Chain A
Amino acid sequence: MNHIKVEEKAVEMKNITKVFGNFTANEDINLTVHKGEVHALLGENGAGKTTLMNILYGLYQPTIGEIMINGKTVIMADPNIAIQNGIGMVHQHFMLVEPFTVTENIILGKETTTSFGKLDIEEAVSHVQELSEKYGLYVDPYAKIQDITVGMQQRVEILKALYRGAEILILDEPTAVLTPQEIQDLIDIIRNLTKQGKCIIIITHKLKEIKQIADYCTIIRRGKQIDTVDVSVTTEEELANKMVGREVNFIVGKEERTKGEVVLEIDNLVIKDNRGINAVDGLSLKVHAGEILGIAGIDGNGQRELIEGIIGLRKIESGKICMIQKDITGRTPKEILESKISTIPEDRQKRGLVLDFSVEENMILENYYKEPFSRKGILNKNKINYFAKELIQKFDIRPEDETLKARALSGGNQQKVIIARELTNDPELLIAAQPTRGLDVGAIEYVHKSLVEQRDKNKAVLLISLELDEVMNVADRIAVIYEGKIVGIVEAKETNENALGLMMAGGGSGNEK
């Protein structure tokens, strides 16, 4: 970490408070960032980091507080004013128009034109190429966004900001969607930018990256500023404890186990995606009892289609799926569920819960037709209520109110409702798709513990995750999926991030086991 000693203040946010209805998203936050500095904003999901940055970028107005850019007070009424003041923001969910080209996206809103408002694309392209060379951000100016990699899309976002003359760059969770190699490239880009005097604010909850690139780190918890620390003299543990407000266990505690019989066997599976392209393309895989098999891969390599295929939500073109030696290919979701496969779906709000149903109703979604929950088609409210209360106690779901709508629960508690429901089916195979996405550290700990417990009961667990750290920490074996195929299977303790990252990007191979 090179502290470039330019003590010029680029950004000062003073006493920022933002209230949405009766919810305080930011409370009296002070943030100062100097030129040439990388400043990290650390906090759990929903802590208010993004809100604070949206205020700086003019998307929200602060309820109380003042923003100073280069020592002058500025009222950020809208993004235009932020842009004029040299602020650029790369949002977590890219703000790119998919059917447009790279250049069109970059110039949108600040177009180069000739007479009569005609677009001057050549002029724009040459400007884009100039910037791209200056900062080492390689892009293809004529490619359409829908055809380029996520890494390049991110570079387009950064170029969009630089094209507008950004001196202060906000990156919201920039590494969430990148492969390890792409993360390394991004770090190089960030160093390059700070060398040229630009300052960067990076929103993240990944401690390792903060240690790697940030100079200072401001920690926010539940909308309040906990501390601002010099990264070079702090540790990851200290940052984590400040972020969560208690001691956090990083390592998932699990004992050695030998794997048992094959539970799920997938043979040469082919499944098409919505566009009619083979998303799962000749995939074979075995999951054993008493193991957690992790599937690692970059988003969009067939993970979603694979899960939907296994649980009967998507048509299988060819190949075979066997559950404990019983062929379940092409069965209905209900039949598959009854063959002891349970799923924690990727999108808990769309697929996992009916948000406007109560917690108790959500808990019997899969068994409502069975006794004792219903008899001759009539629901037995008392039995359902009793069952739900029991689960709420057992799985520590808060608040303890089974009549509350699922919508009213926090993400972590919503996930607990799903886990409670799925585990009471006593599955032989538990499929967990992105089970910790968007959860905070405490809830992540809980989910991981549940998965390991399932394994220790000699059940099979199939974990699909985009978070490499999660797969490496929790799984016993790791299968890497690339373009709809398993390109390698490795023992989790015998591999490392770089080897996996290479396989995820389609290079290298693991030992086929």
Chain B
Amino acid sequence: MLDNIGFILGTTLMYATPLIFAALGGVISENSGVVNIGLEGMMTLGALMGATVGYFTGNPWLALLCAGLAGGFLALLHAIASVTFGADQIVSGIAINFLGPGIALFLSRLFFEGATMTKSINLENKIPRPLGGVFPQNSFFDLVLNQYATVYISFLLVFVIWYMLYKTKIGLRIRAVGEHPKAADTLGINIYKIRYFSVILSGIFAGFGGAAMSIAVVSNFRPTLISGQGFIALAAMIFGKWKPQGAMWACLLFGAAQGFVIFLGGTAIAISSQLLAMLPYIITLVILISFVGKSVGPAASGDPYEKGER
């Protein structure tokens, strides 16, 4: 029994991690006033880049870094379109969501002899498990706490981003720009700079999220790897009321639903796997409807800012 709980908790943490990365990205971007529904595309490209760099270099940390840069690159495009040119942020985000998987597929075919799936990374070249062997194998603590390094990093980043947003100068400015850009402008704050910074950081985090999937949870990239996780992260961010810690709890909820389903799949209970696969989304929907009131995000989120507008 305890082992089952341990298994579910462990899987929860593992599956929540990519979501936490991406949701944190969403939190930063939206707090600066830019809606980023492109998280999905950024995660996908990040996953491909992580798996590819990881396969060729054998260095998981370099792979993670490159995944972040790939996500950041797509985010830069989003920022150029929506911050500099004032394009509709939803439309720009949708474009990113087509572009990301498109580029990922193209690169995969380019580097892996036309295959849409990258070759698996050797087990020892995946993201390491720093607590491996500390606890007896398959004991409760081993199941829960012996995780890939990305898991610990994601939770550490929740704290870092919370601290940045609410305790530092740059955080105050990011939130001011997201709430009332004109007020910030009159105080001499460079809105474009703040928004570029936030959007690019958001893409880097989404890229990390993709890699947390492709070089930790599994060991390669395939086109269906990130199906919808970017959107779930987006939902988690809203569910978490645009706050890092809130988004984290929401991601854990999604992760728990996922963990529960994987657990059920491994038991003798006969449920069709398609139905099981739906379960996390249904659980989430039910919880969203029943427990979460109207949440209000940053007031200026989604509005392009134009200087000198009359």
Interface residues of A (CB under 8 A from B): 20, 57, 59-60, 78-80, 83, 89, 91, 95-100, 104-105, 107-111, 113, 116-119, 160
Contact = CB atoms under 8 A, between A and B. Distances in A.
Q: For the complex of A and B, list the 9 residue pairs with the smallest distance between their C-beta atoms, beginning with the closest.
A: A109-B187, A80-B188, A95-B183, A111-B169, A117-B168, A117-B169, A97-B179, A97-B180, A79-B188
Given A20-B310, A111-B172, A95 B180 contact: yes
Contacts of B167: 118-119
5 contacts: A57-B186, A79-B187, A97-B179, A108-B176, A116-B168
B180 A98 contact: yes
Contacts of A20: 310
Contacts of A79: 185-188
Given A100-B176, A104-B172, A109 B184 contact: yes
A105 B182 CA distance: 13
Contacts of A100: 172, 175-176, 179
Given A95-B187, A113-B169, 18 more contacts: A20-B310, A59-B186, A78-B188, A79-B187, A80-B188, A91-B186, A95-B186, A96-B183, A97-B183, A97-B184, A99-B179, A104-B172, A107-B172, A108-B183, A109-B189, A116-B168, A118-B167, A119-B169
A109 B308 contact: no
Interface residues of B, number: 21
B51 to A, nearest CB: 35
A108 B175 CA distance: 10
B123 interface: no
Nearest to A90: B186
B182 to A, nearest CB: 6
Interface in B31-64: none
Contacts of B180: 95-98
Nearest to A25: B310
Interface of B: 167-170, 172-173, 175-176, 179-180, 182-189, 299, 308, 310
A109 B179 contact: no
A110 B310 CA distance: 26
A60 B308 contact: yes
A59 B182 CA distance: 10
B187 A108 contact: yes
Interface centre among A80, A83, A95 (most CB of B within 10 A): A95
B168 A109 contact: no
A255 B185 CA distance: 51
A173 to B, nearest CB: 16
Nearest to B188: A80
A96 B189 CA distance: 14
Contacts of A105: 183
B173 A109 contact: yes
Say what secondary structure dominates the interface of chain B: helix
B187 to A, nearest CB: 3
A117 B176 contact: no
Contact of A110 (B170, B179, B187, B308): B187
A95 B300 CA distance: 13
B168 A119 contact: yes
B182 A108 contact: no
A165 to B, nearest CB: 13
A176 B176 CA distance: 25
A105 B169 CA distance: 12
A29 to B, nearest CB: 18
Nearest to B182: A95
Contacts of B173: 108-109
Nearest to A78: B188
Nearest to A81: B188
B167 to A, nearest CB: 6
Nearest to A93: B182
Contacts of B299: 98
A89 B310 CA distance: 17
Nearest to B298: A99
Contacts of A59: 185-186, 308
Contacts of B169: 111, 113, 117-119
Contacts of B187: 79, 83, 95, 108-110, 160
A80 B184 CA distance: 11
A123 to B, nearest CB: 13
Contacts of A98: 179-180, 299
Given A60-B308, A119-B168, A108 B179 contact: no
Nearest to A96: B183
Given A20-B310, A97-B179, A89 B186 contact: yes
Given A95-B183, A97-B179, A97-B183, A108 B189 contact: yes
B190 to A, nearest CB: 9
A214 B57 CA distance: 74
A60 B309 CA distance: 10
Contacts of A99: 179
Nearest to B171: A119
A119 to B, nearest CB: 6
A368 B168 CA distance: 58
A108 B173 CA distance: 7
Nearest to B299: A98
A247 to B, nearest CB: 32
A60 B310 CA distance: 10
Contacts of A119: 167-169, 172
Interface centre among B167, B182, B183, B189 (most CB of A within 10 A): B183
A117 B183 contact: no
Contacts of A57: 186
Contacts of B184: 97, 108-109
Interface centre among A78, A97, A104, A113 (most CB of B within 10 A): A97
A108 B172 contact: yes
A20 B308 CA distance: 11
A12 to B, nearest CB: 23
A95 B167 CA distance: 22
A453 to B, nearest CB: 35
B17 to A, nearest CB: 26
Contacts of A95: 180, 182-183, 186-187
A276 to B, nearest CB: 10
B32 to A, nearest CB: 13
Nearest to A120: B169
A117 B169 CA distance: 6
Contacts of B179: 97-100
A56 B286 CA distance: 55
A97 B177 CA distance: 9
B170 A117 contact: yes
Interface centre among A91, A109, A116 (most CB of B within 10 A): A109
B255 to A, nearest CB: 30
